[in-house]
């Protein structure tokens, strides 16, 4: 027992002098063991660490590549708007009134190839069959609006979807049966003036966007009436198409420009159809109008147009024209 420490102190570990210090030689050996590892041993340890780190890095890289490959290789999910469109076609084909009731917008309109217009209530009562239901549609998205087209031969179908708070709802179903031989546009005398729709129309748009879209449309009508290609170009979207009953194929923006220039060279002037009535839909970044129009000396028809805001102006996306048989 160490001097100056009692038995109780030693038992409780409170007497520091009771712990005998190791000799200097033993301390050196211990220090040498911890801090002065031979060079060969250090090199071996470093090599082992390098092998371990390299293996871990290789394994991680392999797993990462598997994840990335599987992610990139997996096909993208079907857009919700397109899934709703397929559900609509399936429900219409199977006469599933319950599903249709959940997909039809409150302002829904159905226009068949003969120009017969049906409301939402009438569609749910009669359940008409859709045309080109087995044709894969071409779909374009404009913010909260989806434009689906399905064509087969000279029969064209347009379906307009809008995303509401409750989900995607179809606002319009419309068919156009084009003729085999195109009909010439009605002409007017050089002294004739385009009043309706170029200057005034029997319809009052409600929202600011609707008013601006109407102004843009009237600009297009004036440009066509006066064969003014320069005024026509900025008001028409590049993807524009005109699908009319009295044509044998859809017209593009380039086709319209060629038509305007041809009439200008020939000294002919076309007569834009007069507006009889209209309904407009303000979807935010797009505006749609379902109009009933009358060509001089011809039957009236339903013409659906849509505009999109681009570059500070409203540009027309399409014109879809169905002649009314009766």
Report pLDDT digits (tens) over 270-323.
889 999 999 999 999 999 999 999 988 889 999 999 999 999 999 999 999 999
Q: Is residue 47 part of a domain?
A: no
| pLDDT interval class at 46 (50, 70, 90) | low
Domain that holds residue 279: 208-323
Query: Which helix (H) or strand (E) covers residue 110, if one does?
Result: strand 104-111
Domain assignment present for 244: yes
Q: Is residue 146 part of a domain?
A: yes
Last residue of one domain, picked from the residues 177, 195, 217: 177
Other Cβ atoms less than 10 A from the Cβ of 93: the count is 13
Per the CB < 8 A criterion, the answer to whether 81 and 96 are in contact is no
pTM of the predicted protein model? 0.75
CA distance 57 to 67: 15
> Is residue 56 in a domain?
no
Residue 202, both tokens: 């029997």
**Residue 61 is assigned to a structural domain of this protein:** no
221 and 311 share one domain: yes
Whether residue 178 is predicted with pLDDT greater than 60 in this model: the reply is yes
- How far is it, in rounded angstroms, from Cα 20 to Cα 139? 89
Q: How many structural domains does the chain have?
A: 2
Q: Are residues 212 and 297 in the same domain?
A: yes
Q: Are strands 236-244 and 167-177 parallel, antiparallel or unpaired?
A: unpaired
According to DSSP, the residues that pair with 236 across neighbouring strands are 316
Average pLDDT over the chain, rounded to whole? 82
Output the pLDDT for position 150. 98
| Residue keyed to tokens 């109780």 | 8
Residue 171's CATH number? 3.10.450.50
* Residue at 64 is within a domain: no
Please check whether residues 234 and 314 belong to one and the same domain: yes
Residues 222 and 310 in one domain: yes
Residues 151 and 214 reside in one and the same domain: no
Decide which of 158, 177, 196 is a domain's last residue: 177
227 and 155, same domain (yes or no): no
Residues 127 and 218 in one domain: no
Burial of 18 (0-12, 13-18, 19+ CB in 10 A): middle
254 located within any domain: yes
Express each pLDDT in 114-154 by its tens digit. 999 999 999 999 999 999 999 999 999 999 999 999 999 99
| Angle at 47 (CA atoms; ends 44, 53), nearest 5 degrees | 145
Q: Within this chain, do residues 161 and 262 fall inside the same structural domain, yes or no?
A: no
Q: Are residues 139 and 242 in the same domain?
A: no
Boundary-marking domain end, from 156, 177, 198: 177
What is the predicted pLDDT for the residue at 132?
Answer: 98
d(CA 145, CA 81) in angstroms, rounded, equals: 9
Residue 4 is assigned to a structural domain of this protein: no
Helices (H) and strands (E) in the chain, counts: 9, 12
Residue 210 CB burial class (10 angstroms; 0-12, 13-18, ≥19): buried
Read off the pLDDT of residues 240-281 as tens digits, 9 standing for 90 and up.
999 999 999 999 999 999 999 999 999 998 889 999 999 999
Q: Which stretches within the chain are classed as H helix?
A: 7-11, 24-35, 39-73, 80-93, 97-103, 120-126, 208-225, 229-232, 253-266
> Tokens in use for 61?
């890289």
CA angle 259, 260, 266 (to 5 degrees): 90
**Cα(298)–Cα(245) distance, integer angstroms:** 12
- Do residues 309 and 285 make contact, with C-beta atoms less than 8 angstroms apart? yes
Enumerate the β-bridge partners of residue 145: 142, 162
Residue 252 and residue 172 share a domain: no
* Residue 212 sits in the same domain as residue 305: yes
Distance (Å) of CA 158 to CA 22, 180, 234, 260, 301: 96, 20, 25, 26, 16
In this structure, the answer to whether residues 133 and 218 fall within a common structural domain is no
């Amino acid at each position: 027992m160490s001097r100056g420490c009692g038995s109780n102190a030693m038992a409780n570990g409170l007497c520091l002098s009771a712990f005998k210090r190791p000799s200097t030689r033993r301390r050196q050996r211990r220090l040498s063991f911890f801090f002065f590892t031979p060079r060969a041993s250090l090199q071996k340890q470093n090599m082992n660490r390098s092998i371990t780190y390299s293996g871990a890095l290789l394994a991680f890289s392999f797993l990462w590549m598997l994840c990335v490959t599987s992610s990139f290789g997996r096909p993208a999910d079907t857009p919700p708007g397109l899934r709703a469109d397929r559900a609509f076609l399936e429900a219409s084909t199977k006469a599933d009134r319950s599903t249709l009731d959940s997909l039809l917008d409150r302002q829904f309109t159905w226009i068949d190839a003969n120009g017969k217009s049906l409301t939402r209530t009438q569609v749910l009562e009669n359940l008409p069959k859709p045309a080109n239901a087995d044709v894969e549609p071409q779909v374009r998205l404009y913010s909260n609006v989806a434009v689906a087209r399905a064509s087969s031969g000279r029969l064209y179908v347009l379906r307009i979807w809008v995303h509401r708070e409750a989900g995607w709802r179809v606002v319009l179903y419309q068919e156009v049966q084009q003729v085999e031989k195109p009909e010439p546009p009605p002409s007017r005398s050089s002294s004739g003036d385009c009043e309706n729709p170029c200057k005034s129309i029997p319809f009052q748009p409600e929202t600011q966007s609707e008013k601006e879209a109407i102004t843009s449309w009237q600009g297009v009508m004036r440009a066509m009436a006066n064969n003014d290609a320069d005024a026509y170009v900025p008001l028409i979207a590049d993807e524009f198409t005109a699908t009319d009953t009295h044509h044998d194929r859809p017209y593009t923006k380039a086709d319209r420009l060629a038509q305007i220039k041809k009439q200008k060279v020939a000294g002919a002037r076309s007569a834009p159809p007069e507006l009889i009535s209209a309904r407009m839909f303000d979807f935010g970044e797009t505006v749609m109008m379902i109009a009933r129009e009358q060509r001089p000396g011809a039957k009236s028809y339903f013409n659906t147009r849509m505009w999109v805001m681009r570059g500070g102006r409203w540009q027309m996306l399409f014109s879809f024209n169905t002649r009314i048989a009766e």
